[in-house]
Amino acid sequence: MEFNELKEFLDFKAEQYENPIFLESDPIQLPHRFTEKAAIEIVGFLIATIAWGNRKSILTSGERLLEIMEQDPYNFIMSYESKEILHSSFVHRTFNSQDLDFFFRSLKNIYAKGGLEHSFRAHPTISGVQGRIAQFREDFLATEHEQRVVKHLSDPMRNSAAKRLNMYLRWMVRDAKKGVDFGIWKSIPTSELHLPLDVHTSNNARRLGLLHRKQDDWKALQELMATLQKMDPIDPVKYDFALFGLGAFEKF
């Protein structure tokens, strides 16, 4: 397809799949149970962190996290006492109770110093969303931690596509009018957002000629975003719905 035809096709698919009907099987449904900003942020962040594997297992583990936090995420985090969760049975793939203890302690520290939105502030020397993620990692890892937990925080400075962190940012930043994303963070422009590059989005992007790099890394994401930003410079990450939906629901 020519550029204009491809844009028209992807605009149509983005509109089709940015729809609450598709939330029934999506982990984003869990933060949608909450209305308080901090609760949405905390649940969204934890669910995005464990969002690998099949959706059913992610939802099961997410429900367990909500139980552990007593369905009151913000108050639980702010009153959390170090290491009280270490002997729990929580595990999701390689994310275990030791990791969860650190995440709870770090979130408590993050909220004592301004909250999750503030932790994704612009970096003083690294531009765009790459810098915001770098700043967040710096803030989050300021809490005492074992080296093993670092693997759960992808680093675009090391060429990771940072799928789950980009997904989380999409949830928090994009407008809520379609009933999917939340639009509760106003300090980050949608023009900076990068889509969460996964097997569906990358493979479909290659089939459509939007991506040529073979690896699913930050360089590939930049290549893809350069084209999507030409299609919509204000909200390029909306095409995540199109590229993901084509693979997940249409087996494109």
* pLDDT tens-place string over residues 177-205: 999 999 999 999 999 999 999 888 999 99
Residue-range domain boundaries for the chain: 3-248
Answer whether 228's CB lies under 8 Å from 1's CB: no
User: Quick check: 86 pLDDT over 80?
Assistant: no
* pLDDT tens-place string over residues 96-117: 999 999 999 999 999 999 999 9
Q: What is the pLDDT of residue 251?
A: 72
Distance CA 91, CA 98 (A): 9
DSSP state of 91: E
Q: What is the pLDDT of residue 78?
A: 97
Alpha helices in the chain, H assignment, sequence order: 3-17, 37-49, 55-68, 73-78, 97-112, 116-119, 128-140, 163-173, 199-207, 218-231, 239-248
User: Quick check: 120 pLDDT over 90?
Assistant: yes
Distance CA 132, CA 121 (A): 6
pLDDT band at 89 (very low <50, low <70, confident <90, very high): confident
Distance CA 133, CA 154 (A): 9
* pLDDT tens-place string over residues 129-182: 999 999 999 999 999 999 999 999 999 999 999 999 999 999 999 999 999 999
pLDDT band at 82 (very low <50, low <70, confident <90, very high): confident
Average pLDDT of every residue of the chain = 95
Q: Average pLDDT for residues 67-88, to the nearest whole number? A: 89
Q: Average pLDDT for residues 39-51, to the nearest whole number? A: 97
Q: What is the pLDDT of residue 232?
A: 98
**pLDDT above 70 as % of the chain:** 100
